[in-house]
Structure 1
Amino acid sequence: MKYLPKVPDDAYVKVETTKILKQHKAYMAQFEEMLNDEKNRITTGACMMS
Structure 2
Amino acid sequence: MSVENALKKLNGVLKAVVDLDKGNVTVTYDPAKVSVDDMKKAIIDTGYEV
TM-score category of the 2 structures, normalised to the smaller one: under 0.3
**Which one scores higher on RCO, CA 8 angstroms, separation ≥ 6?**
2
TM-score, normalised by the number of residues in structure 2: 0.28
TM-score, normalised by the number of residues in structure 1: 0.28
Structure number with higher helix proportion: 1
